Chains A and B, each alone.
Chain A
Amino acid sequence: MKKTYSIEVDCANCANKMEEATKKTPGVKDAVVNFMTLKMNVEFDEGADEKAVMKEVLKNCKKVEDDCEIFF
C-alpha cells in the first residue's frame, strides 16, 4: 500500500534525514521524501496500520529534525 503525505521541512538535508528515519520505522517498507514538492511517499508493509505507523514515523522524524511536520 502506498500513500502520499504533505510535509513541512526547512532544509534539504533535513528532508534526507527524515527519509532515513522513516525508512527505519517498523511497518514502513520504503519511503521517499521529496523536498521540492514537500511530499512524502510511504509504502507500508502488508497489513500495517498506517495511522499507527505514521505516528511512529512522525516521532522518529521529530528526533532527527525537530522542526518538521507531517500531515496525516
Chain B
Amino acid sequence: MTKKQKKMLRRIIITVILMIVLHIAYEAFGAPADPVTGKTTSRWIVTEPVWFILYMIPYLIIGHDILKKAFKGIMNRQVFDENFLMAIATLGAIGIALIQQNGEYTEAVAVMLFYQTGELFQSYAVGKSRRNISALMDIRPDHANLVTENGFDTVDPDEVKTGSIILVQPGEKIPIDGRIVSGETTLNTGALTGESLPKSVREGDDVISGCINMTGVIKIQTTREFGESTVSKILDLVENSSSRKSRSENFISRFAKYYTPIVCYGALALALLPPIVLMITGNEPKWSTWIYRALTFLVISCPCALVISIPLTFFAGIGGGSRAGILIKGSNYLEQLSKIKTVAMDKTGTMTKGVFEVSGIHHSSIENEKLLEYAALAESFSTHPISLSIRKAYLDNLIWTIDEKTGEAIPKQPDEGQKEKRTLDTSRVESVEEIGGNGVLAIVDKKQIALGNRKLMDRQGVTFKECHHNGTVIHVAIDGVYSGHIVISDVIKPTAKEAIRAMHAEGVNTCIILTGDSKHVAESVGKEIGVDKVYAELLPEDKVSIVEELLSKKTDKSALAFVGDGINDAPVLSRADVGIAMGALGSDAAIEAADIVLMDDDPLKIARAIAISRRCMRIVYENIYFAIGIKVLCLILGTIGLTNMWLAVFADVGVMVLAVLNALRALRLPRV
C-alpha cells in the first residue's frame, strides 16, 4: 500500500469507529423527531443540532477531500465529475435530514464511506495488478558483469559499450545481445518465448539478451548496445502496447463523457418534474421524496467500473500474451485478432521449417548410413545448400526407420543426449569434380561416387529409379552401379497440422496458404496440414493483391490475418488487418513490420494468440454489459423509489469491484 492508501485506510477505520459510537449513543440518548410536531423527544440534553454537529465530524473526516475537489471542480468548470456527484448527493441527503429533523445523517456518512472504500479498493487492486503484470513482463536484466583485467565489475547494462566482453554466470540473464567467445552452456529462452526449451550453445554462437544461462559460465562479446538489444526492444514494445487504444476503450471513454451529464440532468428532472406535475394536478408534491430519489440517481452515475475495468482487461490480456511469447502491439490489435475469420499464411518458414533437410533415402542397395556417408564425403568441399543439408544429416547421426510397405527410410533426429559426435574424414576423398547443374563426381575410399540429378545419371549411363516424392532428388551411383537416391525437402513443422486444427476450433473459417513455391509442392503441403485453400507460384506482389482481394470480400465484422516470417513479406503484413510475424527471436525486421509478434516459430501460437484475444474480448463485453446493466437497473429502481442510497452506492462500488476482479481473469492463459 502506498502512503496515500494507508492514510485513506486510517480515515475509513476512524470513521467506522466513530459511526458505531454515534449509533450506540443515538440509540441511547436520541430519538427520531416526531413527524407531526417536528420536535425531537430527546431523553437527555442532546438535541437535534447537537446530533447534526456530532455526525458532521465523521462526515468531514471521510469526505473533506471530496468536498474540496468538488469545489475546485466547480471553480475549474469541471462540473460533472464524480467528486461533485458524491458531494451533491451526500450534502443533499444531509439537507433533507435537517429539514425533516429526523436525524438520518447516517446515510450521507455511509454513502461517503462506501464510496471512499471502493476508491481505495480500486486503487489498491489496480496498483497491485499493475505491479503483477509488469513483474511478469519484466525481463529487464538489472546488471552486466563487465570483464576487466582482474576479474569482473558489476555495472549497469546501459554502460556497456559494443564489443565489450561480459561474463554471464549460471542463473543470470544475458543482459546484452552478443556472441560467445568462451564457454559452453544451456540457455533457457522461456522468458522470451514462453516455452522453456533448453538450447545448448557454445563458442561462436550468437546469443540474445533475455535468455537465462542455466549451466555453465560464458563470456560474451557484445554486438549491440543495451538499448538496441532484443530485450530492450521487446520491453519497449510491450510497455507502449496499451497506448494503442481499442475501439471498446474509445467507446467507453465516449460513453463516460455522455453518461454522467445525462444522469445528472435526469436527476434534476426527477427532482423537479414529478413534484411540479403533482402540484399542478392538485396533489401533494412530496418534494423531499423526489429529491431523495434524484440524489440516489447521482450516486449511481459514476462510470468508474467501466472506465477502469476495460483498459485493465486489455492490459492483463497483453500481459498474459507476452508471458506466452506472444507480443501484441496494441489493444486495437487484440480486438481485431478476436474477429479473425480468415488466416492467410506463408508456407516456407511459417508452416514448414524453411530449411532443406534430408527427408528420406529410397531404393538404397547398400546401408542407408553408408550411402549417406559416401554422399557427405563426396559433398564435403561444397558450400551449396544441398551439400550442407547432406553433410548435416550425416553429422546429426539421424536415426533411420524403414517404412515396411515402401522400403523407404525416414529419418528422425536423435535425442539431445544420444547425439554421437561425428566428423567427416576428408582424407578419404581423393578427388572431386563438380559438374555445374548436374552434381559431383568424386573418388572416395577408391570408389567412384556419382552424386547428382538425373542428367548426371544419364551422362554416366546409369539407370535410375524415378522418385514420386516432393523435393530435390539426389541420385547416388557407386562404381557405376545405382545405389538409391536421397530426397531433400523442406520439412513441415511438427505442430503445423495441429495449429490449423486449433485455428479452426477457435473460429477461423478459412486457412489459406500463399506461396511462391511450385503448385505441386504447395498443394501436397496444404493437403497434409489441412488448409482450406492454396495459392501457389506467387510473386511477392501477387500476395499483396490476393490479400487485398480477400479483404474486399470480407465483411466489416470479420478480420483477416496474414502470418509470415517477416523477412520478405512486410508489405503483406502491413496490408492485412492483423499482421503476425513469427520466429521473431533475433529478427528486428519482423518486430517492426508486424502487429503481433510470435517470439518463436511454433505455428500453434497463432491459434493461442486468437484464443487469448477472444477470451479477453469476452471479458471486456461481460464487463460492459454487466456494469451498464446493473447501473440501468438501479436507475430504474431508483426512479420508482425501490432503492435507497445504500443500495445505490453498493451498486456503484460493488459493480466496480466485480468488474476489476473479472478483468484480472484475462491474465490466465486459455488452452488451445
Question: Contacts A16-B253, A16-B256 hold; do A36 and B312 have CB atoms under 8 A apart?
Answer: yes
Which residues of chain A are near B81, meaning CB under 8 Å?
Answer: 13, 17, 64
Which of B76, B243, B311, B314 is close to A39, meaning CB atoms less than 8 Å apart?
A: B243
- Tell me if A11 and B130 are in contact (CB < 8 A): no
- Tell me if A37 and B242 are in contact (CB < 8 A): yes
- Tell me if B242 and A63 are in contact (CB < 8 A): no
- Tell me if B76 and A12 are in contact (CB < 8 A): no
Interface residues of B (CB under 8 A from A): 69, 72-73, 76, 78, 81-82, 119, 122-123, 126, 130, 133-134, 239-240, 242-243, 245, 253, 256, 303-304, 307-308, 311-312, 314-315
Tell me, yes or no, whether A25 is within 8 Å of chain B by CB: no
- Tell me if B119 and A11 are in contact (CB < 8 A): yes
Excluding A36-B311, A64-B78, 16 further A-B contacts by CB distance (< 8 Å) are A11-B122, A11-B123, A11-B308, A12-B304, A12-B308, A12-B312, A13-B82, A13-B304, A17-B81, A35-B311, A36-B133, A36-B312, A36-B315, A37-B315, A39-B239, A63-B78
A16 to B81, CA, bound (A): 12
Which residues of chain A are near B130, meaning CB under 8 Å?
Answer: 36-38
Which residues of chain B are near A32, meaning CB under 8 Å?
Answer: 243, 245
- Tell me if B243 and A66 are in contact (CB < 8 A): no
The distance from the CB of A3 to the nearest CB of chain B, in whole angstroms, is: 13
Which residues of chain B are near A12, meaning CB under 8 Å?
Answer: 126, 304, 307-308, 311-312
Interface size on A, residues (CB 8 A): 18
The distance from the CB of B84 to the nearest CB of chain A, in whole angstroms, is: 12
Which residues of chain B are near A17, meaning CB under 8 Å?
Answer: 78, 81
Contact with B along A33-67 (1 / 0, CB 8 A): 01111110100000000000000000000011011
Chain A residues touching B, majority SS: mixed
Question: Contacts A11-B122, A32-B245 hold; do A66 and B304 have CB atoms under 8 A apart?
Answer: no
Which of A11, A16, A41, A63 is close to B243, meaning CB atoms less than 8 Å apart?
A: A41
- Tell me if B307 and A13 are in contact (CB < 8 A): yes
A32 to B243, CA, bound (A): 6
Which residues of chain B are near A39, meaning CB under 8 Å?
Answer: 239, 243
- Tell me if A41 and B307 are in contact (CB < 8 A): no
The distance from the CB of A50 to the nearest CB of chain B, in whole angstroms, is: 18
Measured CB to CB, the nearest residue on chain A to B316 is: A36
Which residues of chain B are near A16, meaning CB under 8 Å?
Answer: 253, 256, 307
- Tell me if A34 and B307 are in contact (CB < 8 A): no
- 13 residue pairs bridging A and B, Cβ less than 8 Å apart: A11-B82, A11-B119, A11-B304, A12-B312, A13-B82, A13-B307, A36-B242, A36-B312, A37-B130, A37-B242, A37-B315, A39-B243, A41-B243
- Tell me if A13 and B256 are in contact (CB < 8 A): yes
The distance from the CB of A19 to the nearest CB of chain B, in whole angstroms, is: 8
Measured CB to CB, the nearest residue on chain A to B65 is: A67
The distance from the CB of B310 to the nearest CB of chain A, in whole angstroms, is: 8
A66 to B78, CA, bound (A): 11
- Tell me if A63 and B119 are in contact (CB < 8 A): no
Which residues of chain B are near A13, meaning CB under 8 Å?
Answer: 81-82, 256, 303-304, 307-308
- Tell me if B308 and A63 are in contact (CB < 8 A): no
A20 to B415, CA, bound (A): 59
Measured CB to CB, the nearest residue on chain A to B240 is: A41
Measured CB to CB, the nearest residue on chain A to B123 is: A10
